[in-house]
Amino acid sequence: MAASYPLFVKRDLDGFFGLFVDNLVQLLLIPLLCGVLCGMTGDDAKYIYSYMIPGAAVSILVGNLFYAWQAHRLAARTGKSDVCALPYGINTPSLLVYIAFVMAPVYQTTKDPRAAWQMGLYACLGSGLIEFFGAGIAGWIRKKTPRAALLSTLAGISIGFISMTFALQIFHYPLVGMLPLAVLLIALFARWPFPLGLPGGLVALLLGTLCGWLLPASLSGVNLSVSSVQEAWQARGWHLPIFCGQELMAVFQLPPREWLGYLSVIVPMGLFNVIGSLQNIESAEASGDEFGTASSLAANGVGTISAALFGSCFPTTIYIGHPGWKALGARAGYSTLNGVVITAICLTGTLPLMGAIIPVQAGMAIVFWVGIIITAQAFQATPSQHAPAVAIGLFPAIAAWGATVVEGAFRVSGGKTLSETLNAFPSEQANGFLIHGLIAVERGSIFTCMIIAAISVFLIDRKFYSAGIWALVAAGLTALGLMHAFQVSGNDINYLFNIDLLMGRGELPEGVYSYRAFNIALGYLLSAGAFFACGWVNARHPREIVEGH
């Protein structure tokens, strides 16, 4: 260890507050979203506080300690005293996507919180394995997949399931949510410095909390009380991590069609984590800190795998923003401190206490901001000529959000179910939108976003053969049922994995509306043919094609 590189410096506190607030908001979101969408309330809240939160602590501690150690190693090797550890924590998009697209659908179908939790473990493990083994092929993946395709997909998810969701929450609780949003915009748009160098996120959270406590519940819509704080304090206690290998194995004992379909969510999100982490490592290198790519990505994967094995459903990742933390003067101590403090909160059962003191509505602006940045980055970090490709990739994710709204509307309508409506009239419309088409675009939307954006990039660049190959991939995924195919039972929208049909297990219960999307697969094949034909002509008469454009 370099003598000039201490374990902790004063400016590590600045970095710690920023990273801690980010992780804390996400931890507070877990009980809120899992309670509302996965039925984990009352006695079933044990899946959150006895399994998920301690499991998240394991992953956060493992990763933060590794990246702090890695910073010390780099300082010792280079003699630099300003090395800043890579920021690390729970992956916000993965948290929201896995709850919305994996856990919630399972709960809606089974009404079993445990089944939803187990499927979340499976999703987290799959993501971790992709992250770990992707460490060796991350460069190849990045080379073959246009940046616009990856960022457009993430931006689409951000619009529908991060920014839109929390924008509605902010304006539903304006007296607690709007002031923190204003503070964040001042801090991050106007780059306004706050007293004592406090991070804008921390100031926003404190002011939102203050509004929640000072304003009457009838105005704020937030119920905070001293008695709730006292109850949470009395309920604290040790929640040590529990190994959940058997719970994971229970998923693989289910019929394959019940878990294979979720690969259309898991695989793209795992790839996003790999590529995103790789880009963040490159960002750190541009700031002067050259960390090993393979070891950094592998450690990220180990953190996510450990989360799944000890009960958490949520992958971890290397965060964006290393240059910002380095500019604050943070070194390695902020990473160590974040890991230790977050672990202490999770294992001592004091997260409910934090939730009783800090209204989650006060932190919604932070998550809303994350969605804004992800969406803006999709356009800013890609060549300007690829902007149309980014735009076209947004639509499947927006359709996914719309399908979620439609499904929810049918659930609360108290009338005819979604499956009855589609069985009676598949071309039924809602405010001018085809319900069938909305769901068909929504199923596997993460794959669809990435593929159509990639096709668009290659067409813009006149790489017709590459566009054709991506269209063939889309046809294959659609034929398998990972894209576009679906079944609706009552108001439950589920994947329809076509391998069941090929294996002679294609019968569905009476009343279920099903769509196998083979005609869409054929459409992709026809599109591939068109792209290959253009490529063949372009290879022989390129000048005529260019001049005639």
**Strand 429-430 with 486-489, pairing:** unpaired
Mapped onto helix, strand or coil, the DSSP state of residue 533 is: helix
φ/ψ of residue 495, rounded to 5: -70, 155
Q: Report, as an integer, the average pLDDT of 473-484.
A: 90
So what's the pLDDT on residue 122? 97
* Summary count for the chain: helices (H), strands (E): 29, 7
* Domain identity same for 134 and 264: yes
So what's the pLDDT on residue 308? 97
For residue 369, being part of any structural domain is answered with no
So what's the pLDDT on residue 501? 61
Range of the domain at 483: 392-547
pLDDT in tens, 101-116: 899 989 988 999 999 9
For residue 18, being part of any structural domain is answered with yes
Local structure of residue 86 (DSSP, 8 states):
P
User: d(Cα 397, Cα 153) in Å, to the nearest integer?
Assistant: 7
For residue 360, being part of any structural domain is answered with no
Local structure of residue 484 (DSSP, 8 states):
S
* Domain identity same for 317 and 405: no
* Domain identity same for 144 and 290: yes
Angle between helices 333-347 and 12-38 (to 10 degrees): 30
Strands (E), 92-156: none
- At residue 139 the predicted structure's pLDDT band, cuts being 50, 70 and 90, is low
Count how many domains the chain has: 2
For residue 426, being part of any structural domain is answered with yes
Q: Report, as an integer, the average pLDDT of 294-309.
A: 94
Task: Return the top range by mean pLDDT from 18-32, 136-150, 290-304, 375-389.
Answer: 290-304
Q: Which of 296, 321, 351 is the last residue of a domain?
A: 351
Question: Which residues lie below 8 Å from residue 205, measured CB to CB, with a gap of 6+?
Answer: 21, 25, 180, 358, 362, 363, 366
So what's the pLDDT on residue 370? 67
pLDDT at 66 over 50: yes
- At residue 414 the predicted structure's pLDDT band, cuts being 50, 70 and 90, is low
* Domain identity same for 136 and 265: yes
For residue 359, being part of any structural domain is answered with no
For residue 385, being part of any structural domain is answered with no
How much of the chain is in helix, strand and coil states, percent to nearest 5? 75, 5, 25
For residue 165, being part of any structural domain is answered with no
| pLDDT greater at residue 366 or residue 230 | 230
- Report the percentage of the chain scoring pLDDT > 70: 94
* Domain identity same for 113 and 231: yes
pLDDT at 224 over 80: yes
Q: Which of 334, 351, 368 is the last residue of a domain?
A: 351
User: d(Cα 538, Cα 93) in Å, to the nearest integer?
Assistant: 40
* Domain identity same for 526 and 432: yes
* Domain identity same for 323 and 401: no
* Domain identity same for 261 and 139: yes
pLDDT in tens, 382-395: 888 998 998 998 88
Q: Which of 320, 351, 382 is the last residue of a domain?
A: 351
* Domain identity same for 328 and 415: no
* Domain identity same for 432 and 529: yes
* Domain identity same for 417 and 345: no
For residue 376, being part of any structural domain is answered with no
* Domain identity same for 411 and 345: no
Global pTM value: 0.71
pLDDT at 526 over 90: yes
Q: Report, as an integer, the average pLDDT of 61-81.
A: 94
